[in-house]
Amino acid sequence: MRVVKLLSVLAALLAAGAIFYLAYERYERHAVAEARRTLPGRLANQELHIGQPVFLRIFKQEAVLELWMRNDKGWRLFQSYPICRFSGGLGPKLKTGDRQAPEGFYQVAAAQLNPNSRHHLSFNLGFPNAFDRAHGRTGSYLMVHGGCSSIGCYAMTDPAVDDIYRLVAAALRNGQTRVDVHAFPFRMTPANMASHGRSRWIDFWRDLKPAYDLFEKGRRVPAVELVDRRYVVKG
């Protein structure tokens, strides 16, 4: 009798889960459709249009991805998207399997776009870059993608990544050779740097800060090079 009751409860839970999943799927499809419908208007409201250059900034602690676009007046923040989930904590990715989302300076070219992703849409950040390789760091397929699950990626939800992917892809089609993605542990204010001053990663973060400062002060996306296994901002 107890087994029958247990099986009945289990069946009810499975049915409820299936109903919830189908409802969530319908919601996501509606949200994606609404994002596509409203994107041109949201761009026009800020004197932007699809195909203009794009620049992305990621802030782990604040769980935000900023999408900037450049018109004839310079770089303008189009939208800040909440990061639904990233795995790991503050600090760079070190090796395959550490479930850590990367930090540093990355670039996305057209070949890194994946329109057939199982996470709705996605693009590869390009980890490991030259800095990562110089430090012996390993890993692959570190993505910005849809959904809300992560094992080293930045999961943005389907409607958010639909915006981001479309604007990145359009910029690349329109002549931008690579889209810069700057992934920071936090907004690199003096207060945040001081509060994390005892972290094992503080020296690494100090090398990231000049790029953050240059864009904050002058709205210029800096050129970043690898010199003696360190990031160096060239302006």
The catalytic residue among 84, 119, 120, 153 is 153
Respond yes or no: is residue 148 known to be catalytic.
Answer: no
Cis omega (within 30 of 0) for bond into 128: yes
Neighbours of 147 (CB within 10 A): 19
CB 68 within 8 A of CB 56: yes
Q: Which of 119, 120, 145, 182 is catalytic?
A: 145
- Using CB atoms within 10 Å of the CB of residue 45, give its burial: 0 to 12 exposed, 13 to 18 middle, 19+ buried: exposed
The neighbour count for residue 196, using CB atoms within 10 Å, is 17
Helix ranges (H only) for the chain are 2-44, 130-134, 158-173, 190-195, 202-218
User: Is-catalytic flag, 84?
Assistant: no
Query: How many residues appear in the chain?
Result: 235
Tokens 């208007």 belong to 41
Which residue numbers are catalytic? 145, 153
